[in-house]
Amino acid sequence: MDDNNFKTRLRIAKREILKKDANENNKRGLFLGSAFRLGTELVAAVAVGTIIGFILDNWFDTKPWFIITFFFIGVIAGILNVVRVANNMQKEDK
């Protein structure tokens, strides 16, 4: 019977839903996703660095040296990856 009243109520309800949506649901999912990322991101870079070092060692016959250097470079790259993901998480938090 009160068409105008209903429309206002509908608009308010819609706005509430939108607000809730942006605040909670998406964020939580994103964070869980990011949490799963962090661990493997670190390990993967170390593994890739070590493999590259191993291949270079086999090429140039310099057995332990490239593998050692690239292991540490891989560690640095892994930490860098993790810091980047964490930075993105903080940016989304604001």
Q: Which residues bind another protein (CB under 8 A)?
A: 26, 29-30, 32-33, 36-37, 40-41, 43-45, 47-49, 52, 70, 73-74, 76-78, 80-81
Tokens at residue 47, please? 């593994």
CB of 58 to another protein, least distance (A): 18
Give least dist CB 70 to another protein, A. 8
Output 8 or 35, the one with its CB closest to another protein. 35
Which is closer to another protein, CB of 8 or CB of 24? Answer: 24
Which residues make Cβ contacts (< 8 Å) with residue 13, sequence separation at least 6?
A: none
Provide the H-helix boundaries in 1-94.
3-20, 26-60, 63-93
**By C-beta, is 8 or 14 nearer to another protein?**
14
Q: Do 39 and 65 touch, CB atoms closer than 8 A?
A: no
Q: What are phi and psi of 18, to 5 degrees?
A: -60, -45
Look up tokens 């930490």; give the residue.
Answer: 79
We find the least distance from the C-beta atom of residue 3 to another protein, in angstroms, to be 21
